[in-house]
Structure 1
């Protein structure tokens, strides 16, 4: 089993996150969980994305604790990284100007004026070796 599932270091997690563009933001307000696909960039070991006014920003104002998940797979391997952290809207002119310099462009042809940064409080990642399922029952004894 050791060669099938491997735990990733934080450095490996950041490296994998930096190589992707699409992740999932999970928010929670009371008993309600929501998940939003967002395109993002990594900046100084944090996740930055742009959004329009709406439910994401409202939910982050009520509860800034979030999960951010990214995964990837090929025929032979897969990986998943989960960032647990706090999200905040970039509000100061300095923060917004710095974010404007990041290589972050909306995927959809819509205006997105708000930047959000997720600062990691912890993270976990795993890499998986893919392959056929082993024989579940073994060889029958006759």
Structure 2
């Protein structure tokens, strides 16, 4: 057997650092259980008073959220020079809320959904667990995709 090179170890983030990274992001992947099937959806979220809030429309995502099963939301990013990346996972229980129940002034600027259409249901995830890690990466050219890789697939 050959020996493998041991690279830099991932740094486990404190809960405080996790919330700082979440505040710097607004796009995440929401994992829900739809019956017995896992589903993942991109969402635009806003951290508000140590919870995550987002809007959604009727459909699979909303039905899964209203089932009362735990969910997970992951957000990640990288530093300005693409030499360090981070990932934060929030696990929790989703709940439907009304507009007046959340202090959006604490969330900073409005963050609009990417997808057009009416998103009339406001969901709040109350965390049961917040974890994250940060680590250095190799040169960007080894893992970064082309800016528009779809043109290379045609």
Please report the RMSD computed on the Cα atoms of aligned residues, expressed in angstroms: 2.2
Paired residue for 2:101?
A: 95
Paired residue for 1:135?
A: none
Paired residue for 2:125?
A: 118
The match for 1:107 among 106, 111, 114 is: 114
Q: Distance in 1 between matches of 2:64 and 2:55?
A: 15
The match for 1:76 among 80, 83, 92 is: 83
Q: Which runs of 5+ in 2 are unaligned?
A: 1-5, 140-154
CA contact (8 A) 1:4 1:130 kept: no
Moved more, 66-75 or 17-26: 66-75
The match for 1:25 among 30, 34, 44 is: 30
- The answer to whether structure 1 residue 43 and structure 2 residue 43 are counterparts is no
- The answer to whether structure 1 residue 65 and structure 2 residue 70 are counterparts is yes
Q: TM-score, normalised by structure 1?
A: 0.81
Q: If each structure's strand is expressed as a fraction of its own residues, which one has the higher value? A: 1
Stretches of 4+ moved more than 6 A in 1?
none
Larger radius of gyration: 1
Q: TM-score, normalised by structure 2?
A: 0.75
